[in-house]
Amino acid sequence: MENYCIICREETNSFSDEHVIPDALGGYYHIYTVCKDCNSDLGLRVDSKLVNHQFSHFQRYLLGLRGKSGKLPNPFSGIHQFAEDEGKKVQLRLGEDGKPTPYTITNVSYEESEAGDGGTKVSICIDASDEKNWMGYFRKYQKNYISQSTNSKA
């Protein structure tokens, strides 16, 4: 009776270290009476859904339980809007210290003007917190505006 998996009840010698409460949720109780297949199956079907549930994200956030990547889950993830101004969209991003920081999603604006050499000068207006991503916005500009003007000439 000792060599039976407590989940599938199959006789086996292939047991593995089962975290009764997932590691990511701060679990420390282990049992060694679950076969490798059942442990793997539970990990995929139960543990991952439990760990990634919104309630678990809040609990992990409150308890400071970081995942294997070292990151805290962000229970405030997603794009939110204000009841008074539905056009204004915000995200709550977690800083290095884990504090939620509001980030306003602004519309990117591009302004073209003539450069002295006959070329076109492009000014890109983005949120200051996005400054390091300016090249991505510039590429988007190139893709959307330059290809449009090339198409309209053809």
* Minimum CB–partner distance for residue 56 and Zn ion (Å): 25
Please compute, for residue 23, the number of CA atoms within 13 A of its CA located in the half-sphere on the CB side. 8
Tell me the CA distances in angstroms from 10 to 1, 5, 32, 77, one per residue in order. 10, 6, 14, 42
In the complex, what is the shortest distance from the CB of residue 148 to Zn ion, in angstroms, rounded to a whole number? 59
5 in contact with Zn ion (CB under 5 A): yes
Q: Which stretch binds Zn ion (CB under 5 A): 2-10, 61-69, 115-123, 139-147?
A: 2-10
> What minimum distance in Å lies between the beta carbon of 103 and Zn ion?
46
Cβ neighbours of residue 15 closer than 8 Å, sequence gap 6 or more? 5, 32, 33, 34, 35, 36
Report the C-alpha gap between 53 and 59 in whole angstroms.
10
Task: For residue 7, state whether it binds Zn ion (rule: CB under 5 A).
Answer: yes
Does residue 35 touch Zn ion according to CB under 5 A? Answer: yes
Count the alpha carbons within 13 Å of 67 in the hemisphere toward its beta carbon. Answer: 10
Draw the binding track, 80-119, toward Zn ion (x: CB under 5 A; -: no contact): ----------------------------------------
With binding defined as CB under 5 A, does residue 63 bind Zn ion? Answer: no
